[in-house]
Amino acid sequence: MPSSNVRYVSPPITANNSSSSTVISAANEDDTWVWAQIKSEARRDAESEPALASYLYSTILSHSSLERSLSFHLGNKLCSSTLLSTLLYDLFLNAFTSDPSLRSAVIADLRATRQRDPACESFSHCFLNYKGFLACQAHRVTHRLWQQSRQPLALALHSRIADVFAVDIHPAARIGKGVLFDHATGVVVGETAVIGNNVSILHHVTLGGTGKVGGDRHPKIEDGVLIGAGATILGNVKIGEGAKIGAGSVVLIDVPPRTTAVGNPARLVGGKEKPSQNKDVPGESMDHTSFISEWSDYII
Amino acid sequence: MPSSNVRYVSPPITANNSSSSTVISAANEDDTWVWAQIKSEARRDAESEPALASYLYSTILSHSSLERSLSFHLGNKLCSSTLLSTLLYDLFLNAFTSDPSLRSAVIADLRATRQRDPACESFSHCFLNYKGFLACQAHRVTHRLWQQSRQPLALALHSRIADVFAVDIHPAARIGKGVLFDHATGVVVGETAVIGNNVSILHHVTLGGTGKVGGDRHPKIEDGVLIGAGATILGNVKIGEGAKIGAGSVVLIDVPPRTTAVGNPARLVGGKEKPSQNKDVPGESMDHTSFISEWSDYII
Amino acid sequence: MPSSNVRYVSPPITANNSSSSTVISAANEDDTWVWAQIKSEARRDAESEPALASYLYSTILSHSSLERSLSFHLGNKLCSSTLLSTLLYDLFLNAFTSDPSLRSAVIADLRATRQRDPACESFSHCFLNYKGFLACQAHRVTHRLWQQSRQPLALALHSRIADVFAVDIHPAARIGKGVLFDHATGVVVGETAVIGNNVSILHHVTLGGTGKVGGDRHPKIEDGVLIGAGATILGNVKIGEGAKIGAGSVVLIDVPPRTTAVGNPARLVGGKEKPSQNKDVPGESMDHTSFISEWSDYII
Amino acid sequence: MPSSNVRYVSPPITANNSSSSTVISAANEDDTWVWAQIKSEARRDAESEPALASYLYSTILSHSSLERSLSFHLGNKLCSSTLLSTLLYDLFLNAFTSDPSLRSAVIADLRATRQRDPACESFSHCFLNYKGFLACQAHRVTHRLWQQSRQPLALALHSRIADVFAVDIHPAARIGKGVLFDHATGVVVGETAVIGNNVSILHHVTLGGTGKVGGDRHPKIEDGVLIGAGATILGNVKIGEGAKIGAGSVVLIDVPPRTTAVGNPARLVGGKEKPSQNKDVPGESMDHTSFISEWSDYII
Amino acid sequence: MPSSNVRYVSPPITANNSSSSTVISAANEDDTWVWAQIKSEARRDAESEPALASYLYSTILSHSSLERSLSFHLGNKLCSSTLLSTLLYDLFLNAFTSDPSLRSAVIADLRATRQRDPACESFSHCFLNYKGFLACQAHRVTHRLWQQSRQPLALALHSRIADVFAVDIHPAARIGKGVLFDHATGVVVGETAVIGNNVSILHHVTLGGTGKVGGDRHPKIEDGVLIGAGATILGNVKIGEGAKIGAGSVVLIDVPPRTTAVGNPARLVGGKEKPSQNKDVPGESMDHTSFISEWSDYII
Amino acid sequence: MPSSNVRYVSPPITANNSSSSTVISAANEDDTWVWAQIKSEARRDAESEPALASYLYSTILSHSSLERSLSFHLGNKLCSSTLLSTLLYDLFLNAFTSDPSLRSAVIADLRATRQRDPACESFSHCFLNYKGFLACQAHRVTHRLWQQSRQPLALALHSRIADVFAVDIHPAARIGKGVLFDHATGVVVGETAVIGNNVSILHHVTLGGTGKVGGDRHPKIEDGVLIGAGATILGNVKIGEGAKIGAGSVVLIDVPPRTTAVGNPARLVGGKEKPSQNKDVPGESMDHTSFISEWSDYII
């Protein structure tokens, strides 16, 4: 399980997209509300865009629950001529309805995306179109299969996720809630990696192993971490709570909590001895570039 | 629109692939000629390779115009069980025939690829097989939908492009003409990014944002720029006309025109004060590595 | 052809995954054995997991030979609405049965994956699910077509591989045996690149060219090399036998044998004059991170 | 063209289905009204049945015209892995928009079905679900191709209609307007057959030839004829205006106008010399069985 | 509901196919046994025929219940590009699991086929391959939808059944249990038709209406009736219990119980006044031709 | 095997379609010639009709032999989501290449169609589009599987043929060469039926059984017989050499050679005692209607 001392509480949700007039009131913040909101958005879009209505009805509006809708969507996205959509639909639906924690993780991830990605137009936009979101939910099901000792099925599904979304998360990897995989293409997460809650991970990020020896060999990403695009973290290292890893960084050793590591090889912003302290939760604030001024040799 | 002061004129087209005997005469340089050339190449290939003839007839030879052929090809590439090929075909065909600027961009991109990529065998090779070319043309249609305030449809199509080609260009991003996305896998271009004319961008390149605040937050790539594989450019920074970004570079601040930035974090080749000046148009000359001798600490 | 002086012999095969009880006896090490093993694993999985049995029968258990099984699997993975599975099946089957060297390469690659990747559960797991393995075998067929001067067909197939697996290996590139493409998403290998035997290449690795001039312009990777995730190697440079390229490195000049290059721009671990010597075969030992202690400025 | 002396005028349209509350006013009897009605019905059904909404949007509600909707529907019904839906869609759309007479025939056939078949719930029901209606409209397009000397294409499309709907109408056969093929399975209409206006033909009806000699060799069915289920009419015989052919009849010679032929071999009801006269238009009144009392040897 | 006075009890089941060694013990005659038997047959066939194993696993062996298996099979048979298999699977599964009478009808129909058709090799043969059986079960679901006032969905599904199986049973038609539709191609059953228990109906049989007036206008087939190939029965007539209708007959008036009607127009065997009496249950004994000797004018 | 005393020799082939300018010389009458002719026709059509070229290349022009082309075409026609085209292609190709008699039967059937059906435009027209021809060739493969004791596979394939073509020929039924199934929809041929050489059978023809008792119970059709549309022949009766069965006839007892039976129930034309003698070979001359004048009570 991801690190248990989750200090970072979810901030009040505010629309992060000024072009959106949606008012998200705290009182409505329950799971039912999100599904109702998705349906409402889809209905609005179906009305304004007949060319998309068929798509919106088949994926969202014809379904009686978020679990059914998501199972349908994933089943149709991930099926192939040898793994039929009906089989996958059944598999997903069974998992999502048997395990309430999967559902709450879906909701948390939807909220995380909506809150942190200014390009995220709406919940339904994320739900339908974000490959990072979809790959992550499908991973949660492969992880459940893995825990049930159904390795061959988990790996076959994992292979489909890697083909379809170009997101390669080993079924054994453990992922917390409120996680955002933004853009997501090229993400690789190894077998013994652990990702905490409220983490944000950009595309092309690798949480990789150290060689051909088995055992615990992949990174542990604690709560609230932000990992920039193209960062490579290798080995059983710990990225401490609230740390930030700059885009393109190569990290092979532990990064202390609330610090920022940048570069190849990565160094701490502010220096090893007295690194600068992140004041917010990078995984939530998504501040990618504020460390520039302190990056000593960054001169253009 | 991309920056308007396009100084870089298209050089006389010369076959860049010595194994090709095609003579491309300047007199024929009009749009009609390119489509005729594509058909002629496809006809030659269909004759020499019966196993491919069906493919070539269905994609190219059965069509009366480049717009129809491209719409058919993109419709079949990007369709899914919930977004039917006929719907997408209609959508593409409507866009390409309504907006002449889309067509001229298609032609310019084909020429750019043919000219700059020595592995590009022929126009039809690019037209059929280059995921960067196809993703870019599909993006041009999502951008048109975006401008027509058809966001939900633009985003659904964007999602298909990201799944199928692993190329993730936000529908709102503005892209000039004569642009080459070489290899293209993993390219990410954010919502407020702008790419000028005659730019060449390699695979895994990110033109990313700076955080969760909306507004203008992505790079502006001016005309003639070359961005090497895996480069990450973040924030509302300007990469000046004719600049070159080395492979794997991480760029967080402006790069002056006609200079070369390399490294993580990126520095200017020749130094900040008196950087070396690029003499050609990197986006067209595609010279990836000539800066090595000046890269001071690059010692193997 | 890859460099001929292959000094690195295949070590005795031992199960590298302690959770696997499979005993792989040296006496059985022939091609027949591997296929029998794949079938046996598939049969075991089909029995324990009925939901997967249909998949396992259609891909493996219904086939009388490894060539047929692989041709079927690749045909179904790579087909599209305009390139039918039956056509591709025929194409693959014809290649694999006409050219015994393709078959032995398949076996060598399967063994390499099984031996080097601790997450590889079984031969059938690799055979069915590893996009790097599948893309590489499909590439071997495109390469054969290229050598037979069937360029258009080779390029159409190459395009499908790039779309489906996000692995972009030019049909002309030459690849040795016992090669592992681990995770594989985003790998780009250029036209004149050469990869030796027993090489291991992680995801996002680029073996790229230098510009728009044709001719021999891509890296030559000698036997036993290990290239870490996200490394970019550009130009007609030689990566010497048994060398190691760190994750995220950018390499533009030759790397001597048995040395390790890291960083952007890459430098030799131990210094240019007297670099540390790799004592094992990195492409086989897969040791990604042992150089850390010698990476002078790597301080977090 | 079908016989020109069409005496039978279309009667005032009245809802023939008491369970339908639709009021069909004569004032609205134009083509536009029918398409509007189809959309309105589809909208009502989409609202009341979310499971069907996706289907109704993709087939009807997303289309701007009856021609587009019908072309989409037929393209998706008749496509195969070797005749793609996009190709067929294009073909149908081109035909329906180029030839106004096709459109008016579509409308007339819709009205005929709605009026004569008490099981026909609504225009959209016929439009979407009646294989006889759909096969007939697809035939009208093959007939147009045939007249344009595009025999191979017409025959390929004819083959698809025969496979998908089990309705086999030779592309050269000429069919009037206001024709109802009820149930339609097993209908066979030969090359030189002619079917007039306002004809109703039940399932398993054959309008066949006489042997292996070419030339004009199939039946001519004049206006207003009703042909019962399983009737077989062979040779260049004329079934006169307003005649009725009983179910299961075998007819090899001319049948006079306004008479009824029944049996195997068929005889005229009322006798050869002074046959009973049909007072209505059988093709419109659809009275299948009123002749029983006069069928002399019909004794159970 | 079908006529309630079901006198005909199911005879002890005996294997009717001497080439089958299956012993069907009366003690096992419950629903569970039939599903177990289907699985057992499928397992045997999968073992003996690897080429079919994938099909047998996906359709039968991977499913935990007859309802799931049948829903999967029908969903995949009846789906189209605009009515996805996942939607149909859901629809069928919901119906079969909500309504126990559907399940017992499935079992009764399986038994009827196995008992009466000497070409029926096994239960799984019927379950997988008999279009009459499959069309009838799918009809039972459309009938349930009809009763739930979901007409548009029922009619869309009806249209798929008519296209795929060439079996056209109106959703409103009521069908009893233990019904065999043998061969089934071309069967047409109208809206107000009723078919009792233990009826056998051959292919091309029409239970049709009398014209364009609505209301109760189709045949009522009582228990135990046998209707031969190509017979046409029109109008609201009653075919009495245990009656037999000869192949190719045209029947327009009532047929008394336990009599045989043959010919076009049909007459009673033995004469109208004192017709021969059927001693067995024709719908179960399937004796098609024993009446020949009494067919007075049948002379060849 | 069909009756061995095949007296009817194939007449010199002459183009039966005056609109065709093809000259079919007797000297070319070998199998190779037919395949060359099919390719030549397809090439001509591909040139004149670009919209069809893709279809013609994929089905015919890309294949090196008639066996491959036919296997591809049948595989794609008969595949489903649970019986993949690659599997069927393999199955057909294996059968057609292992058993030379299948190939010669294909040729004989092509010639029969070309010769006897005036609507048959060309060999390629029959090869691609005639459901009777295609169903018959697919049946020949199911029959071979049946003889190899591969019943489950034969029956699964039989089911696909019955679904796709609405032609239901039991795998055990034996069919001679030079057989034409014209139109073919609704044909049913039972398990123990035998069809000789040079037989022509129209659509909706039933060769059915007599009840639920197994054993030899279906018709035996001798050489040269013609069976008209909708005829029903039931029981183990013999239709003698060169006999003709009128459309819609119901035949339950033997028909002597060279006689014509018509009606329901069928009687011999010319009377039982001294029936008229057919002078030609009806199965080849296809004369459907010449008996009318002798049909005593046929009076209209």
- Encode pLDDT of D182-228 as tens digits: 999 999 999 999 999 999 999 999 999 987 778 999 999 999 999 99
Neighbouring subunits of C (3+ Cβ pairs under 8 A): A, B, D, E, F
The chains in contact with chain D, meaning 3 or more Cβ pairs closer than 8 Å, are A, B, C, E, F
Domain locations in chain F as residue ranges: 20-166, 173-300
Assign C262 to helix, strand or coil: strand
Q: For residue D265, is the peptide bond before it cis, meaning its omega torsion is within 30 degrees of 0? A: yes
Rounded CA-CA distance D104/D107 in Å is: 5
Whether pLDDT at A152 is above 90: yes
- Separation between Cα atoms, residue C151 and residue C146, nearest integer Å: 5
Res A57 pLDDT > 70 = yes
Of all residues in chain F, the one with the smallest CA distance to D247 is: F248
pLDDT score at D218: 97
For chain F, list the contacting chains (3+ Cβ pairs, <8 Å): A, B, C, D, E
- Residue C153 pLDDT grade (very low, low, confident, very high; cuts 50, 70, 90): very high
- State whether B50 and F58 contact (CB < 8 Å): no
Across chain E, mean pLDDT equals 89
* Contact state of F297 with D267 under an 8 Å Cβ cutoff: yes
D53 in contact with A, Cβ within 8 Å: yes
| E strands present in A67-161 | none
- E258 reaches F (C-beta below 8 A): no
pLDDT of the residue at F25: 42
- Residue of F105, F258, F139 lying closest to F207 (CA atoms): F139
Chain A neighbours, 3+ Cβ pairs < 8 A: B, C, D, E, F
Whether C128 shows a pLDDT value over 90: the answer reads yes
Q: In chain A, what residues touch D62 (CB-CB under 8 Å)?
A: 50-51, 53-54
Among D171, D86, D187, smallest CA distance to D133 is for D187
DSSP D290: G
Q: What superfamily would CATH give domain C14-166?
A: serine acetyltransferase, domain 1 (1.10.3130.10)
| A17 has pLDDT over 60 | no
For residues E173-194, average pLDDT: 97
Rounded CA-CA distance B239/B218 in Å is 11
Write down the residue that tokens 């590595």 correspond to.
B289
D104 and chain A: CB distance < 8 Å anywhere? no
> Chain C residue with minimal CA distance to F57?
C87
Q: Are strands A267-268 and A260-262 parallel, antiparallel or unpaired?
A: antiparallel
* H or E element, residue E157: helix E151-165
d(CA B120, CA B200): 14
Bridge partner residues of A221 (DSSP): A195, A239
Query: D264–E264: do the CB atoms touch at under 8 Å?
Result: yes
pLDDT at position E20, please? 37
Q: What is the pLDDT of residues D117-127, one digit of tens each?
A: 988 989 999 99
The distance of Cα D198 from the centroid of its chain, to the nearest Å, equals 9
- Tens-place pLDDT, residues E231-269: 999 999 999 999 999 999 999 999 999 999 999 999 999
Give the Cα separation of B150 and F245 in Å (integer): 65
- Measure in Å the smallest separation between the Cα of F83 and chain A Cα atoms: 10
Name the residue among E16, E49, E204 with its Cβ closest to that of F150: E49
Q: What mean pLDDT is predicted for residues F91-102?
A: 96
| Band of pLDDT at residue E288, cut at 50, 70 and 90 | confident
- The Cα–Cα gap between B188 and A183 comes to 7
Say whether residue D236 is in contact with chain F using an 8 A CB cutoff. Answer: no
Confidence (pLDDT) at F299: 63
What's the CATH class of domain A17-166? mainly alpha
**Mean pLDDT, residues F63-74 taken together:** 97
Query: CB of B283 within 8 A of CB of B199?
Result: yes
- Alpha carbons F202 and D207: distance in angstroms, whole number: 12
CA distance F84 to chain A (A): 8
Residue in chain D nearest E259 by alpha carbon: D300
- Rounded to whole angstroms, the Cα distance separating A127 from A109 reads 10
Lowest-pLDDT range, C259-268, F14-23, F249-258? F14-23
**Best residue in C90, C155, C244 for a mutation probing chain B (most B CBs within 10 Å):** C155
CATH of domain A173-300: 2.160.10.10
Angle ∠(D50,E174,E37) on CA atoms, nearest 5: 85
Residue E294: predicted pLDDT = 75
Query: How many CB contacts within 8 angstroms connect chain D with chain F?
Result: 160
> Of B190, B168, B167, B282, whose CA–CA distance to B236 is shortest?
B190
Q: Does C294 score more than 80 pLDDT?
A: no
Q: Which residues of B touch E89 (CB under 8 A)?
A: none
Query: Tens digit of pLDDT for each residue in C34-80?
Result: 999 999 999 999 999 999 999 999 999 999 999 999 999 999 999 99
Do residue B230 and residue C232 have CB atoms under 8 angstroms apart?
A: yes
Closest chain F residue by Cα to residue B51: F62
CATH 2.102.10.10 fits B23-167, yes or no: no
Beta bridge partners of F261: F245, F268
Rounded Cα distance, B232 and B188, in Å: 9
Chain B residues with CB under 8 Å of C83 CB are 55
Q: What per-residue confidence (pLDDT) applies to F36?
A: 96
Rounded to the nearest 10 degrees, how much is the dihedral formed by the CA atoms of F135, F136, F139, F141?
Answer: -110
Q: Is the pLDDT of residue A21 over 50?
A: no
Q: What is the per-residue pLDDT for E5?
A: 37
Residue D30's pLDDT band, with cuts at 50, 70 and 90, is: low
Q: Which tokens in the block code for residue B171? A: 């529908």
pLDDT at F296: 57
Rounded Cα distance, B250 and A298, in Å: 10
CA F221 to chain centre: 13
Nearest in space to A298 (alpha carbons), one of B263, D149, C25: B263
Q: Residue A204 and residue C204: Cβ atoms within 8 Å?
A: yes
Reported as a pLDDT band with limits 50, 70 and 90, residue C21 is very low
Higher per-residue confidence, B6 vs D262: D262
pLDDT of residue E30: 67
Residue A53, CA atoms < 13 Å, CB-side half-sphere: 26
* Peptide bond preceding E50 in cis form (omega within 30 of 0): no
Q: Which two tokens stand for residue B278?
A: 């690029």
Q: What is the pLDDT of residue A167?
A: 98
Q: Which residues in chain A have their CB less than 8 angstroms from residue F82's CB?
A: 84
pLDDT at E296: 57
Find residues 150-209 of chain C whose CB sits inside 8 Å of chain E: none
User: In this structure, what token pair is assigned to residue D267?
Assistant: 């005889």
List the single residue in C156, C186, C206 with the smallest CB-CB distance to B129.
C156
Residue F29, pLDDT score: 53
Task: Identify the helix (H) or strand (E) that includes residue C180.
Answer: strand C180-181
Looking at per-residue pLDDT, the higher value among C281 and A140 belongs to A140
Confidence of residue D295 (pLDDT cuts 50, 70, 90): confident
Mean local confidence (pLDDT), A133-159: 98
Distances (CA, A) of F173 to A10, F71, F136: 72, 21, 11
User: Which DSSP state fits D42?
Assistant: H
CB-CB neighbors (< 8 A) of F85 in chain C: 84-86
Q: With the C-alpha atoms ordered D279, D283, D289, D291, is the resulting torsion angle positive or negative?
A: positive
- Other CB atoms within a 10 A radius of the CB of residue E67 amount to 20
Question: F266 is written with which tokens?
Answer: 């069928």
Chain F residues lying within 8 Å of C89, measured CB to CB: 86, 89-90
* Conformation bin of residue C186: beta by default, left when phi > 0, alpha when psi is -120 to 50: left
E264 burial (CB, 10 Å; 0-12 / 13-18 / 19+) is buried
Rounded Cα gap, residues B11 and C271, in angstroms: 44
Q: How far is CA C300 from CA A262, A266, D85, in A?
A: 10, 7, 59
Q: Which two tokens stand for residue F271?
A: 């009377």
Cβ–Cβ below 8 Å for C86 and F87: no
- Chain F's closest residue to B57, CA to CA, is F54
Name the minimum distance, in Å, from the CA of D287 to any CA of chain E. 4
pLDDT of residue A214: 80
Residue contacts between A and C (CB atoms, under 8 Å): 161
Do the beta carbons of residue A206 and residue C247 sit within 8 Å? yes
**% of chain E at pLDDT higher than 90:** 77
What pLDDT, on the 0 to 100 scale, is given for residue A24? Answer: 41
The tokens for E214 are: 């609505």
Cβ-defined contact of A84 to F84 (cutoff 8 Å): no
Structure tokens at B295: 């890269």
Q: Tell me: the pLDDT tens digits for E17-52?
A: 433 334 344 434 567 899 999 999 999 999 999 999
* Chain D interface disruption, residue of C76, C81, C83, C88, most D CBs within 10 A: C81
B211 vs A249: which has the higher pLDDT: A249
Per-residue pLDDT at F30: 67
pLDDT of residue C2: 43
Residue A12: the pLDDT is 37
d(CA B185, CA D294): 79
Rounded CA-CA distance F270/F273 in Å is: 8
Average pLDDT, stretch F62-74? 97
F86 touching chain C per CB within 8 A = yes
> Searching chain C, which residue's CA lies closest to the CA of residue A190?
C119
CA distances from D129 to C9, E90, E151 (A): 67, 21, 12
Q: What is the dihedral of CA A116, A121, A125, A130, to 10 degrees?
A: -40
From first to last of its 300 residues, what are the pLDDT tens digits of chain B? 344 333 333 333 344 443 333 434 443 456 789 999 999 999 999 999 999 999 999 999 999 999 999 999 999 999 999 999 999 999 999 999 999 999 999 999 999 999 999 889 899 999 999 999 999 999 999 999 999 999 999 999 999 999 999 999 999 999 999 999 999 999 999 999 999 999 999 999 999 998 777 899 999 999 999 999 999 999 999 999 999 999 999 999 999 999 999 999 999 998 888 888 988 899 998 888 777 777 756 667
- DSSP secondary structure string for all residues of F175-231: E-SS-EE-S-TT-EE-TT-EE-TT-EE-TT-EEE--SS--SS-S-EE-TT-EE-TT-
pLDDT category at F48 given cuts 50, 70, 90 is very high
Fold of D18-167: serine acetyltransferase, domain 1 (1.10.3130)
- Chain C positions touching E53 (Cβ under 8 A) are 53-54, 57, 61-62
The strand ranges marked E within chain F are: 168-169, 174-175, 180-181, 188-189, 194-195, 200-201, 206-208, 220-221, 226-227, 232-234, 238-239, 244-245, 250-251, 260-262, 267-268
C6 or D201, higher pLDDT: D201
Q: Which residues of D touch C81 (CB under 8 A)?
A: 81, 84
Q: Is A16 helix (H, G, I), strand (E, B) or coil?
A: coil
% pLDDT > 70, chain E? 89
- pLDDT, mean of residues C82-88: 95
Q: Please report which confidence band the pLDDT of residue E289 belongs to, taking 50, 70 and 90 as the band edges.
A: confident
CB of F76 less than 8 A from some CB of B: no
Q: Number of helices and strands (H, E) in chain D? A: 9, 15
Kindly state whether D18 is in contact with chain E, defined as any CB-CB distance less than 8 angstroms. Answer: yes
> What residues of chain D lie within 8 A of the CB of F69, using their CB?
none
Residue in chain F nearest C73 by alpha carbon: F86
Q: Which fold has domain F20-166?
A: serine acetyltransferase, domain 1 (1.10.3130)
Q: Quick one: pLDDT band at residue D296, thresholds 50, 70, 90?
A: low
User: Closest partner residue to C264 among A158, A255, A264, by Cβ?
Assistant: A264
Of F170, F252, F264, the CB nearest to E289: F252
The residue-averaged pLDDT of F99-109 equals 95
Q: Do C155 and B131 touch (CB under 8 A)?
A: no
pLDDT at D299 over 90: no
Angle between helices C85-98 and C151-165 (to 10 degrees): 110
The predicted model gives E63-79 an average pLDDT of 97
Cross-chain residue pair D82–C81, CB shorter than 8 Å: no
- What's F288's DSSP letter? -
Residues of chain A with Cβ-Cβ distance to E87 below 8 Å are: 58, 62, 72
Fold designation for E19-167: serine acetyltransferase, domain 1 (1.10.3130)
DSSP class per residue in chain B: ---S----PPPPP----TT------GGG-SHHHHHHHHHHHHHHHHHH-HHHHHHHIIIIIT-SSHHHHHHHHHHHHH--SSS-HHHHHHHHHHHHHH-HHHHHHHHHHHHHHHHH-TT---HHHHHHH-HHHHHHHHHHHHHHHHHTT-HHHHHHHHHHHHHHHS-EE-TT-EE-SS-EE-S-TT-EE-TT-EE-TT-EE-TT-EEE--SS--SS-S-EE-TT-EE-TT-EEESS-EE-TT-EE-TT-EE-S-B-TT-EEETTTTEETT-SSSPPPP-S-HHHH---STTGGG-TT---
Q: For A273, name the nearest residue in chain C, comparing CA atoms only.
A: C300
Greatest Cα pair distance, chain A, in angstroms, is 60
